[in-house]
Amino acid sequence: MAKKGFAGKWLFWGVFVLLAIAAVVVTIRPDPVWVDLAPVTRGPMEITIKEEGKTRVRDRYVVSSPVAGYLHRVLLEVGDPVIPGELLTEVDPMPASTLDARSRAEAEAKAQSARSALNSTRQKVAAAEAEADLAVRELARLQALSDDHFVSDERLQQAKAAADRAKAILRSARFDEEVMAHELAAARTRLEVSAARANGDGAVERVPVRSPVNGSVLGIVRKSEGVIQAGEAILELGDPGALEVVVDVLSFDAVNLRPGIEARLTGWGGGTLDAVVRRVEPVGFEDVSALGVEERRVQVVADITSPPDAWQSLGDGYRVDAEFLLWRSDIVLQVPESAIFVSDGQHQVFRVVDDRAVLTNVSVGRTNGFHTVIQDGLGEADRVVRHPDRQLEHGSQVRVR
């Protein structure tokens, strides 16, 4: 009986020690680290710059009073269409004074300058007509070849865009020609009125103010009647069908943009529009953000390449969101940017294998701020830890939230 009692004590104390050791092990064993996981995916990726912009009529014309006098009330409203030569308003001029020899010489010089400017503009119109004719003929040639599938759709779209731009430049040049012609007429009028005053003819006719271009009224600077000085603005005209998009881009983003880069226009109330960068201005300016931060920005001008029917409801000064496409790939291996960190100059991630974190070196490529291209180190079936904290180490047991 004594031996049985002795063996029972040893059994009891042995079990007690094992339980105590197990309790200590469970107590000191670290708890699993809670983590968020993200899969390694393969798919399309883009790197873009997105900023807010606005539409702007490409060619704006400020119609001013040709003489000092009494302005009649402007009856037009913003948005009303106008044609060249249409009467906008009238001005009863002040009695014209006789020009002395010096003033007459200056007036004649201005008339000669306006005549030379008109001749120069006509040469530009001829050059623009030649460019437009060449672009149209090239488009017709490519359309004929496209019927036989000798030309790609992308090349045909480029030719269409080139033809549209050439036509727009020609229209702008013709607007400039019309403006120069009216400026010459104004210079001649001053000489003729002064000559009539010098000859004793005191009757002065009411001076009409006519539209120099074909377009619409964009703004009315002076609507009510009253005394007006020569050269004072009355209203603004332009063609709403010739729109461009102006975007203020941060200067460190603007250095990555160049003419010809594709852009997408959204956030204007309609569908997505295609555009292309035409000019990146070489001069920056200072702007203050909504948070009160001083920023250096650069104006980027883009042309809308989508068909006019898709954006006919857009007008001057409308808000748009412009997204410039810097880089694009259809299929690329990528992970969230938040999963990557740098240690000792090496990009690393925590890969989860059998509920344990495995520290893995990776080779990265381009990033858009949300996802990063993985060139080496991971596979499509892997899962990585998002936002790894300091508690996570190589071999740590993890638990998914």
| Residue 384 resides in a domain | yes
**Greater pLDDT, 235 or 153:** 235
* Residue whose structure tokens are 């050791």: 21
Average per-residue pLDDT in the chain? 84
Q: What is the pLDDT of residue 195?
A: 56
Helix axes 153-198, 101-147, angle to 10 degrees: 160
User: Do the beta carbons of residue 114 and residue 121 sit within 8 Å?
Assistant: no
Residue by residue, DSSP assigns 238-303 as E-TTSEEEEEEEEHHHHTT--TT-EEEEESSSS--EEEEEEEEEEEEEEEE-TTS-EEEEEEEEEE
What total number of domains does the chain contain? 4
115-132 burial code (b ≥16 CB/10 A, e <16): bebbeebbebbeebeebb
Partner residues linked to 351 by β-bridges: 358, 384
Query: Which of the listed residues 272, 296, 328 is the one where a domain comes to its end?
Result: 328
* Residue whose structure tokens are 């009160």: 292
Q: What is the pLDDT of residue 329?
A: 92
Query: Which of the listed residues 304, 328, 352 is the one where a domain comes to its end?
Result: 328
**Pairing status of strand 215-220 against strand 233-238:** antiparallel
Q: What is the pLDDT of residue 200?
A: 46
150/293 same-domain check:
no
| Nearest partner of 185 among 75, 72, 67, 62, judged by Cα | 67
How would you class 344 by CB atoms within 10 Å of its CB: exposed for 0-12, middle for 13-18, buried for 19 or more?
exposed
Q: Which residues contact 370 (CB under 8 A, 6 or more apart)?
A: 336, 337
Task: List pLDDT tens digits, range 199-214.
Answer: 545 455 788 999 988 8
Query: Which of the listed residues 274, 301, 328 is the one where a domain comes to its end?
Result: 328
| Residue 25 resides in a domain | no
| Residue 348 resides in a domain | yes
254/291 same-domain check:
yes
Partner residues linked to 49 by β-bridges: 324
170/314 same-domain check:
no
Classify 149 as helix, strand or coil. Answer: coil
Residues spanned by the domain of 111? 98-181
How sure is the predictor about 183, in pLDDT bands with cuts at 50, 70 and 90?
A: confident
88/118 same-domain check:
no
Classify 375 as helix, strand or coil. Answer: strand
| Residue 196 resides in a domain | no
| CATH number for 355 | 2.40.420.20
Largest CA distance in the chain: 155
322/248 same-domain check:
yes
Distance CA 71, CA 209 (A): 10
Task: List pLDDT tens digits, range 290-314.
Answer: 788 889 999 999 999 999 899 988 9
| Residue 13 resides in a domain | no
Tokens of 82: 């106008």
Task: List pLDDT tens digits, range 379-392.
Answer: 988 999 999 888 88
**Greater pLDDT, 380 or 101:** 380
Classify 322 as helix, strand or coil. Answer: strand
User: Do the beta carbons of residue 45 and residue 335 sit within 8 Å?
Assistant: no
Q: Which helix (H) or strand (E) holds 177?
A: helix 153-198
234/383 same-domain check:
no
How sure is the predictor about 400, in pLDDT bands with cuts at 50, 70 and 90?
A: confident
250/228 same-domain check:
no
| Residue 19 resides in a domain | no
Other CB atoms within 10 A of residue 342 CB: 9
Give the pLDDT mean for 136-164. Answer: 74
73/131 same-domain check:
no
262/133 same-domain check:
no
How would you class 168 by CB atoms within 10 Å of its CB: exposed for 0-12, middle for 13-18, buried for 19 or more?
buried
Distance CA 127, CA 23 (A): 93
| Residue 391 resides in a domain | yes
- pLDDT at residue 120 greater than cutoff 90: no
- pLDDT at residue 128 greater than cutoff 60: yes
225/245 same-domain check:
no
292/256 same-domain check:
yes
| Residue 14 resides in a domain | no
Distance CA 164, CA 208 (A): 35
123/259 same-domain check:
no
Give the pLDDT mean for 92-108. Answer: 67
